[in-house]
Structure 1
């Protein structure tokens, strides 16, 4: 994975040029001292983002095979890398345009795949349609900003809260299926609804 990224740097150096962070959040410092300090030196924020993309097909396979025990563990691990890569980039001033583009895309691939496999089978179909429709709008807005305006924006607060809500809802859905506890599906439905609200706030206030 690192070799692939290194090769990409030679072809598109501007995408991988490091940028200084404008702000470092308290949770960034917390993760830096508790988790990030133990990562091997060769691990970069972009490696963590790429790892999430690589893990997504494995999560899809596990969910398709109804292996929810392994699926929820790997899904949560992959989702946790979303918290790590952003904090890692901000605390080490290794923000890149590649990361700004790949990070939200990796999120959408991971959560979107889980939604297709779980939500459409266990919830009202329109819930899945709305969630996926909003994710497609996010992707299109990011592409337009990059292609037309040569601008790459990082995900805003509402986008991150939306992602966290979706991760919780998807995890609850897997636990409900694993433990045969339908009430968790009711809770997950409410959280998916909140995620839609956060998605709309993110879209209209930031566009990513």
Structure 2
């Protein structure tokens, strides 16, 4: 990814490593059984960029009703969100780039699925609410970084919101793949809970 290296050369301040002040149980678990076996060239920032790059293929697979491949690639892509955060904390590789683009990568992935699935199979107000809240996240993060020079990592409420959305989206894809309508109802409630956690995250942390 040569273009990433060129970007780094022009924005050095975004790539200064910062040590983490906290580690979670899942960080230790992922590091012990997966992350420590990855080469040093696999960095948290590159995983974040990979998630952004993989979002269009996921979108296209679902768009053309390839639900089995779409669901598989969606879960693998979403899993990089857990990987990059845990790797950054365990390796002491937290950067302002990651703080800015990790949430953005999440929003691109989830937002693309909202456009394809939520507006098609759920009430319009649900899709609109999800998109408006995600846009508010982006605006809050931009204002915080641009005008107050504060770059925050996503808090626990934001992470819960993200994974509720991931599970809900996967259930919708599974419902379409298996023709199992009950999963739509479960996904609907999970999206609703995700909105609640998103609002808590927005008002407590601003991203």
Scaled by the length of structure 2, the TM-score of the pair is 0.98
Q: Does 1:175 align with 2:179?
A: no
Question: Which structure 2 residues correspond to residues 1-208 of structure 1 after superposition, within 5 A?
Answer: 1=1, 3-208=2-207
TM-aligned CA deviation for residue 173 of structure 1? 0.3
Counterpart-to-counterpart distance in 1, 2:151 and 2:120:
35
Point out the more displaced range, 31-40 or 165-174.
Answer: 31-40
The separation in 2 between residues aligned to 1:35 and 1:72, in whole angstroms, is: 22
Quote how far apart the aligned CAs of 1:5 are: 1.9
Quote the RMSD (CA, aligned, Å): 0.7
* Alpha-carbon separation, structure 1, partners of 2:21 and 2:110: 28
- Residue 38 of structure 1 deviates from its aligned partner by 1.7
Paired positions, count: 207
Question: In the TM superposition, what is the alpha-carbon distance from 1:41 to its structure 2 partner?
Answer: 2.3
Q: Distance in 2 between matches of 1:184 and 1:20?
A: 41
**What is the rounded CA distance, in whole Å, between the counterparts of 1:58 and 1:24 in structure 2?**
32
Distance (Å, rounded) in 2 between the aligned partners of 1:203 and 1:87: 22
Structure 2 segments unaligned to the other structure (5+ residues):
none
- The alpha carbon displacement at 1:4 in A equals 2.1
How much does 1:6 deviate? 1.5
Q: Which runs of 5+ in 1 are unaligned?
A: none
Q: TM-score, normalised by structure 1?
A: 0.98
